[in-house]
Amino acid sequence: MTPPASHERVYRALLRLYPGPFRARFRDELVQLFGDVMRDARDGRGGRGGTGGIWLRILADIALTAPAEHLDARRVAHSLTRPASAVMKTLGLLGIVGGLLLLSVWLPVLSIVPEKFNLGRLVLFNAGAMAIAAAILRWGAGAEWGRFQRSVAALAMAANGWYLVMVVLSADRPVYPVPDPEFREIFNWAGVAMWWADGALGLALLGSRSRARWGALALAVGSVGAFSGMGYLGLIDGELGWLFLPASQVGIALNGLGWILLGIAVTTRRRAIAPTSVAPRAS
């Protein structure tokens, strides 16, 4: 005969199927009640089937009530939150558009569109990155993203702003094909700052609990790849160009994907309802 403690151990393990808060609140009582039920079964007061029959009933009980409790916990959590604000949705959408425009570098049609269009594309990409950084800054104290993440977001916002200004200024300057060495040097440094700040932001957000962590991962990896493709480093023109050229292109795509995922996280993240709007218990 199986010792009672073994039954209890199995039942305790099965309780993991319930939501954490429910378990924390009722685990001891559930185990105690289970012990009572098993004791009745051993004493012949548990109905048909003995302990085997009891186990069948227990398994059916868990199979029916655990999913319902998960659904209920989700419904309650949902009822205590509101959708993202209009400002956050706008910032998130800007980030998504910026990421899509960065991804559009893969479209072959870009080679035949006017250079001004490409400049506009880069401006919107930087504006989108700045919007996501602004959304992270706006997330507020005590939220998932703390002071460190918000500091790095401020850095990324400044770096993308710098690059955006350089892109706008380059519209009337002979950067390519006739180089303006001084301007090009500053432009390069803006690029370095942008890719490193974007990568740092990705790393800073890796610990996020939400779906933002996938965007953060893409941003971190993508920024390193994109950085390796910067012309002044000479990596893509060197012996290992076969490696660095595709790496930089994949990096740019991943960077764009990162901003898109972060934009989705920003637009879909629900915010808690202020505690003052929840009435205290009446009883």
> Which residue's CB is nearer to other proteins, number 77 or number 240?
77
Residue 184 CB neighbours (<10 A) = 18
Candidate segments 58-66, 112-120, 190-198, 248-256, binder of other proteins by CB under 8 A: 58-66
Q: Indicate whether 18 belongs to the interface with other proteins (CB under 8 A).
A: yes
Q: Indicate whether 227 belongs to the interface with other proteins (CB under 8 A).
A: no
| Beta carbons within 8 Å of 194's beta carbon, 6+ residues apart | 126, 159, 160, 162, 163
Q: Which of 42, 62, 137, 249 binds other proteins (CB under 8 A)?
A: 62
> Which residue's CB is nearer to other proteins, number 70 or number 89?
70
Q: Indicate whether 101 belongs to the interface with other proteins (CB under 8 A).
A: no
Give the binding-site size for other proteins (rule: CB under 8 A).
Answer: 33
Q: Is 85 exposed, middle or buried (0-12, 13-18, 19+ CB in 10 A)?
A: exposed
Helix (H) or strand (E) holding 272: strand 271-272
Q: Which of 8, 12, 51, 65 binds other proteins (CB under 8 A)?
A: 65
Residue 151 CB neighbours (<10 A) = 13
Peptide bond into 177 cis (omega under 30): yes
The answer to whether 207 touches 213, Cβ cutoff 8 Å, is: yes
Candidate segments 71-79, 83-91, 146-154, 212-220, binder of other proteins by CB under 8 A: 71-79
Give the interface with other proteins as residue ranges (CB under 8 A).
18, 22, 25-26, 28-30, 32-34, 36-37, 47, 57-58, 60-62, 64-66, 68-69, 72, 76, 79-80, 278-283
